[in-house]
Structure 1
Amino acid sequence: MTELRTTVLSRMYVDECRREGGGLGDAVARAELPPAFDEAWRAHLLPRPWFAHGPELAAFAADLERLFELLVSLPGRLFDGDVERYAAEIGLGPRHAALLCRAGSGRPDKLGRADVYHDGTSYKLLEFNLGSEVGGTDMAVFNQSLLRVPDFADFARRRGLDHVDIAARMAAVLRDRARPVVAGGAEPVIGLIEGNGAVAAYGRLMRAVQEAMAAQGLDLRIGEVGEVRARTDGKLTLRGTPLDVVLRNFAAGQLLDDPAGPEAAEPFVRAHEAGRTVLFTSLESGLYSHKSALALLSDPRWSTAFDAEERALVDRVLPWSRTLRASGPAELLDVCRERREHLILKPGAGYGGMDTFVGWESSDAQWRRALETAAAHGYIAQERVVPRPEPVHDPATGTVDDWIAALGIFLTDDGYAGAHARANRADGGAIVAISSNPDTRMAGVFTHP
């Protein structure tokens, strides 16, 4: 019944948008956005927020916390604590695995974003992105700006809408992590550090995060790996400014592709180990956000490593998922060939829907070739989740169309930390991600009772 309440709320919202003389329809367009957020996102915003049933979303977030615990336990449960064997099993090469383990504690920080669909019955996990490089921590600006539009504020009050400020939760985490290196309770200086050459591509998004953190009272500076220097006392600096925390926006893959190589990360690791500048998060998160880690949870070969309650959690949260390899069982590829219309193939370390193969959008011949590529490169095959559509009113045309959304649910050590939504028209293709589908739109998420 929860999905029915959400759909009814969406229809109420659309009906009010269509009401003559009402101001709800163009509320998003009229919302005054901060300059950097406006530059980064205005052209990509959905003309309405997304809604979710608060208790259901909270219950699913609690399941995600338990799933996180299962993920980080995998090396110990399945490989006797041998992280190298675990890394090889999920398809990471020795060089990549060694970089991820550098400065690792054996337990990564609980910071991440789970991308999920609601299928009309429950939420299902598509992927679990862990680490500080996940995007979207600025998206609560959408909610806050919309609440300053009187027409929407009135709707939100009447319907009991609420939201969690992702940026506020992130700021709290950063202050907590900075405490050991900041004297006298002073505010920390944060470096949001990208890979070399990447600020040109991602700078507008980074400036939106910088702006959101400034609203939380934090001084966040933007830079690249090669601009960071280590003082003689081990403290890191960015263009001469001492950094208390490095908020890592670079991934291991960027370092492996960098001419300077993984050694470019050494100053960050040494400063972290010396207690001079905190690296948040360590690269270790990449060991568990790899999609093949999810496949280990779903694969019956490992089911005896989990008790009945844990298996029920995995079945409840995660669609059927398997890692494909050329050396894997031939019958698995046969199953995938037969189930083309029900499967999607994703690269283990991919993001944004890039290099993904969609079975129900492929011919039999295309699917055979996709399976060959997937097996050669260590993809996972995942059961299709059909997301529940919701109506969206277009204020420019007055039309109402069905849209689908992937919710990004954020977690920190304190649990659920807010959500945002990426949305496409229901007939707009299977991939809901701006990087691979330019028609994708972003929205804040409001919960209802």
Structure 2
Amino acid sequence: MSAERVTARYNEESRTPGSGLPAVARHVKDYPTLAPWHGEYLARPLLVAEREIREFADDLRHLIDMLISLPDRMFGGDLEAFRSVLGIDDGQWDVIRKFGDLTPPHFGRADMYHDGTSFKLLETNLGSESGGWGLASEISQAMMEVDAFADFARRNRLGYVHPIRAVVEALRRFGAPVASGREPVVAVLEWRDGLKDYGELWRNFQSALRSAGLNVLLAEVCDVHERGGALYLGDTKIDVVNRAFVPDQIAEEPGGWDLVTPLLRAHRAGGTRLWTPFSSNVFANKACMALVSDPARRRDFSADECRIIDRVLPWTRLLNADALKTDTDLIDECLERREQLILKVNARGGGVGAVVGWETDDATWRRALENSATEACVVQQRVLPRSEPVVDPVSGDTEEWHAAYGMFYTPEGCAGAYAKAVPAGSGSIISVAAHAEARSAAVFHQSERPVWGEVPVVGAPPAPAAK
């Protein structure tokens, strides 16, 4: 049975008098490890075919390898030329190079839409500052504790991957060299005053990690100090820093280098390890996707790699000062195709700075293209997300929602997924921060095998069926 048919069955059972399915969202809302997060939840999980998400995860792994190889493939190892094309300024580049290591681990959250045929990648979000891990893990786990949902999951072969447990394993392996045979002490470090805006999300992350058995601290960069080649919070030695800030915060704030000097010293001395280097932000830059999408650069990729690019990436092109001066055909094409395109700032996420072509007039769109020279951007083909029918637990009415899926990944592979959803037709940017009606949603995969509940990371051997 397809995931679409299982969704229809879920909605039908939700409308049945006496069904326990409408109570699932309330149980999720009251779940202990979700208490630090005050957002709202979709009334049902989103369902995808296991084979489909497994194949997308495999394509994503290969695509990230391509992105990381771009300096060598396209620029002959000339990092200055590479960062110039990406629009990374001197201050941010100084941060990236001082912390070293331009080969980041596969760790982050890929954002994508499902267009009704397949998943299309919008952003890679490579790096430890990407959020949602705790929400994704705990929403799914909470749902499985509701008898009505657990019964439905068993009957329809639904499973999920617990992202937090994948994070714990990755951090344990990474911290082992400095933890001296004990559990590593991990600190989630936000920027100065960062917990004021993002504290709910990071406390949820901390709570979920602790419930999975990892000793996790939460602090800001101004709270820690270096001693003897290691970083400390008070008298507690930190083995691993899970950074929650990015290079431009260091470069743009007066005294930014003073705040991170203890971390830099500890990182260089090796007493404290930095999980995901700042170079992660280089390869998460949207311009990297534009480089691999550009047909003029196809000679740098094999036939198999080109097929992967075509499967997962929507049409994406780089817009910077050079493009505006030299590629008049591209600008003319963007003007002509306004209703099919969206303009995105290379180094920003969450829809910040985006200009939606199909929601603007010709004059506004032209100005946006012209202004893209001041902050490096990409222009991307619109991906129209499929409608997700959801039964309102109060009224019993069926409503249509649009979802942005987030698939988590670690060096071991796919580490689960969740979604953000908004009512269909209520806006083109699907973001919890920017949309008052946004909801977080669990994502379960529908398996061809009789396995339900939590399963290992996609790509690993299946777990035994739950009893």
- Shorter-chain TM band: over 0.9
How many aligned residue pairs are there? 443
| TM-score under structure 2 length normalisation | 0.92
String of CA shifts for 1:332-369, please: whole Å, max 9, x gaps: 11110100111011100111111111111112222122
String of CA shifts for 1:248-303, please: whole Å, max 9, x gaps: 11111221232212453332233122220111111110110000111010112322
Cα drift, residue 77 of structure 1? 0.6
Instruction: Tell me, in whole angstroms, the C-alpha distance in 1 between the residues paired with 2:246 and 2:102.
Output: 18
Cα drift, residue 26 of structure 1? 2.3
Match of 2:119 in 1: 123
* Aligned with 1:156 (options 153, 157, 180): 153
Cα drift, residue 32 of structure 1? 6.6
Deviates more, 1:112-121 or 1:255-264: 255-264
Instruction: Tell me, in whole angstroms, the C-alpha distance in 1 between the residues paired with 2:321 and 2:229.
Output: 46
8 Å contact 1:163–1:418 — kept in the other structure? yes
Amino acid at match of 2:111: D
**CA RMSD, Structure 1 to Structure 2 (Å):** 1.4
Instruction: Tell me, in whole angstroms, the C-alpha distance in 1 between the residues paired with 2:19 and 2:347.
Output: 46
| TM-score under structure 1 length normalisation | 0.96
8 Å contact 1:291–1:349 — kept in the other structure? yes
Match of 1:227 in 2: 223
* Aligned with 1:72 (options 62, 68, 74): 68
- The percentage of counterpart residues that share the same residue type is 40
* Aligned with 1:60 (options 56, 61, 68): 56
Match of 2:6 in 1: 9
Instruction: Tell me, in whole angstroms, the C-alpha distance in 1 between the residues paired with 2:36 and 2:269.
Output: 39
Cα drift, residue 33 of structure 1? 4.0
Instruction: Say whether residues 1:302 and 2:297 are aligned partners.
Output: yes
SS of the equivalent of 1:352 reads coil
Instruction: Tell me, in whole angstroms, the C-alpha distance in 2 between the residues paired with 1:36 and 1:127.
Output: 28
8 Å contact 1:50–1:446 — kept in the other structure? yes
Deviates more, 1:77-86 or 1:57-66: 77-86
8 Å contact 2:317–2:379 — kept in the other structure? yes
Match of 2:189 in 1: 193
Instruction: Tell me, in whole angstroms, the C-alpha distance in 2 between the residues paired with 1:33 and 1:100.
Output: 41
Match of 2:253 in 1: 258
Cα drift, residue 34 of structure 1? 3.9
Match of 2:456 in 1: none
Match of 2:365 in 1: 367
8 Å contact 1:7–1:390 — kept in the other structure? no
Match of 2:438 in 1: 440
Amino acid at match of 1:340: R
* Aligned with 1:385 (options 378, 383, 400): 383
Matches within 5 A, 1:18-97: 18-31=15-28, 33-41=30-38, 43-97=39-93
Q: Could you tell me which runs of 5 or more consecutive residues in structure 2 were left unpaired when the two chains were aligned.
A: 448-467
8 Å contact 1:33–1:142 — kept in the other structure? no
Cα drift, residue 158 of structure 1? 0.6
Match of 2:352 in 1: 354
8 Å contact 1:28–1:48 — kept in the other structure? yes
Cα drift, residue 97 of structure 1? 1.6
Instruction: Tell me, in whole angstroms, the C-alpha distance in 2 between the residues paired with 1:365 and 1:61.
Output: 40
Instruction: Tell me, in whole angstroms, the C-alpha distance in 2 between the residues paired with 1:295 and 1:422.
Output: 25
Match of 1:333 in 2: 331
Cα drift, residue 134 of structure 1? 0.3
Match of 2:459 in 1: none
Q: Could you tell me which runs of 5 or more consecutive residues in structure 1 were left unpaired when the two chains were aligned.
A: none
Instruction: Say whether residues 1:395 and 2:393 are aligned partners.
Output: yes
Matches within 5 A, 1:274-289: 274-289=269-284
Instruction: Say whether residues 1:182 and 2:179 are aligned partners.
Output: yes
String of CA shifts for 1:105-134, please: whole Å, max 9, x gaps: 231111011101111111110111000000
Cα drift, residue 102 of structure 1? 2.5
Amino acid at match of 1:62: D
8 Å contact 1:269–1:279 — kept in the other structure? no
Amino acid at match of 1:381: V
* Aligned with 1:145 (options 127, 142, 146): 142
Cα drift, residue 421 of structure 1? 0.6
Instruction: Tell me, in whole angstroms, the C-alpha distance in 2 between the residues paired with 1:81 and 1:351.
Output: 27
Amino acid at match of 1:305: D
Instruction: Tell me, in whole angstroms, the C-alpha distance in 2 between the residues paired with 1:313 and 1:101.
Output: 31
Cα drift, residue 374 of structure 1? 2.3
SS of the equivalent of 2:159 reads coil
